[in-house]
Chain A
Amino acid sequence: MALLDYFRQRKTKGSAAIAKERLQILVAHDRREGGPSYLPQLKNDLLKVVRKYVAVDSESVSVNVESDGNQEILELNIVLPD
């Protein structure tokens, strides 16, 4: 049955489905690449605050925005020195 479904689906699946698939991948990629324009500034400011308390270098703070459906997640990673 599954095999039959596969062929049936292939037949009705037009180029629009391919377009949608490609776009979803592409748009997700474009969005990751860009990120909000305030990210670099935010990273700088965070670094200043953290440095008040711990000596860290700029490499040890990373700020990322990821979108998951309708949610956007701001991910902040600070690696503290040993």
Chain B
Amino acid sequence: MARIIVVTSGKGGVGKTTTSAAFAMGLAERGNKTVVIDFDVGLRNLDLIMGCERRVVYDFVNVITGEANVGQAMIKDKRNPNLFVLPASQTRDKDALTLEGVGKVLEELSKEFEFIVCDSPAGIERGATLAMYYADDAVVVTNPEVSSVRDSDRMIGILSSKSRRAEQNLEGIREYLLVTRYSPERVKNGEMLSIEDVQEILSLDLIGVIPESASVLSSSNAGIPVILDRESSAGQAYGDMVSRYLGEDLPHRFLTVEKKGLFGRLFGG
């Protein structure tokens, strides 16, 4: 049986797709057969972030309606043989997804994969609620900013009531907090909510802190999951997050302002 993980947030633009791509790649790199599904029907973007947009033939909706089978629609990642992408449809709307349809596809994928990562659309409508319905675990992506924290709190409430696990009185979805776009410098100056602040408000297990980093944009420009940029702080922080998810106990990094050496100060490194 596969473990199903939803990457969610409520608010848009906080880094769900970036996280889904990095997380799925990280799981695959550690030898787990992984598929990442784009639930944002009508506004697909995961294929772009994964760099496979020109290889999309069939999509998630085609599989649900029976126009294609799941094997035809999945795109095998060129960098890692363990990783597959199931793109969303660009022309249909969210109503094309049905509870039974999604359930069937996930059940089929469960036989073949160890991890199924569901990249949720923003909002709390159909696509988002279906992405979380069958989940075993949830990664709640939050920016240290008021509207994002509020929306995350709302999503946490929905996760605990509108899911298969809640409806069947099973053990609840395991929820993890991932703080992205964290800027230690601004936190130090009192201009940004700290990790402690966000955790205190949301009271969730912290699975990672991704620092604000230029490499997130440059990676998405190139269609490469940022976790593969091993030089970058964001890439390393995603690596840590994957390790923690798989059970390793690692201290959080990139939480304090890096002190620049004399060289850095002189040359602005």
Instruction: List residues of A whose CB falls within 8 A of some B CB.
Output: 12-17, 19-20, 22-24, 26-27, 30-31, 34, 36-38, 70
Decide: A19 near B150, CB < 8 A? Known: A24-B201, A31-B157: no
Q: Are A20 and B150 interface neighbours, CB within 8 A?
A: no
Contacts A/B (CB < 8 Å), 29 sampled: A14-B189, A14-B190, A15-B190, A15-B191, A16-B187, A16-B190, A16-B197, A19-B145, A19-B146, A19-B193, A20-B197, A20-B200, A23-B146, A23-B149, A23-B193, A23-B201, A24-B201, A27-B149, A27-B153, A30-B150, A30-B153, A30-B157, A31-B153, A31-B157, A34-B154, A34-B157, A36-B160, A36-B161, A37-B161
Other contacts beyond A14-B190, A19-B197: 19, CB < 8 A:
A14-B191, A15-B191, A16-B187, A16-B191, A16-B192, A16-B193, A19-B193, A20-B193, A20-B200, A23-B193, A26-B150, A27-B150, A30-B150, A30-B153, A31-B153, A34-B157, A37-B161, A37-B162, A70-B203
Instruction: List residues of B whose CB falls within 8 A of some A CB.
Output: 145-146, 149-150, 153-154, 157, 160-162, 187, 189-194, 197, 200-201, 203
Q: Are A13 and B153 interface neighbours, CB within 8 A?
A: no
Which residues does chain A contribute within 8 Å of B161, judged by CB atoms?
36-38
Residue of B with least CB distance to A12: B190
Q: Are B146 and A22 interface neighbours, CB within 8 A?
A: yes
Which residues does chain A contribute within 8 Å of B203, judged by CB atoms?
70
Residue of B with least CB distance to A67: B203
Which residues does chain B contribute within 8 Å of A17, judged by CB atoms?
190
Q: Are B190 and A23 interface neighbours, CB within 8 A?
A: no
CA distance A30 to B192 in the complex (A): 22
- Kindly provide the distance from the CB of A68 to the nearest chain B CB, expressed in whole angstroms: 13
CA distance A36 to B197 in the complex (A): 25
Interface of A is mostly: helix
Which residues does chain B contribute within 8 Å of A70, judged by CB atoms?
203
The residue from B153, B160, B201 contacting A20, defined by CB atoms under 8 A apart:
B201
CA distance A61 to B154 in the complex (A): 27
CA distance A12 to B190 in the complex (A): 7
- Kindly provide the distance from the CB of B146 to the nearest chain A CB, expressed in whole angstroms: 5
Decide: A30 near B190, CB < 8 A? Known: A20-B201, A22-B146, A70-B203: no
Which residues does chain A contribute within 8 Å of B150, judged by CB atoms?
23, 26-27, 30
CA distance A80 to B12 in the complex (A): 49
Which residues does chain B contribute within 8 Å of A15, judged by CB atoms?
190-191
- Kindly provide the distance from the CB of A9 to the nearest chain B CB, expressed in whole angstroms: 11
- Kindly provide the distance from the CB of B16 to the nearest chain A CB, expressed in whole angstroms: 21
Which residues does chain A contribute within 8 Å of B193, judged by CB atoms?
16, 19-20, 23
Most chain B CB inside 10 Å of its own CB: which residue of A22, A26, A27: A27
Which residues does chain B contribute within 8 Å of A31, judged by CB atoms?
153, 157
Which residues does chain B contribute within 8 Å of A16, judged by CB atoms?
187, 190-194, 197
Q: Are B190 and A13 interface neighbours, CB within 8 A?
A: yes
CA distance A69 to B130 in the complex (A): 31
- Kindly provide the distance from the CB of B245 to the nearest chain A CB, expressed in whole angstroms: 23
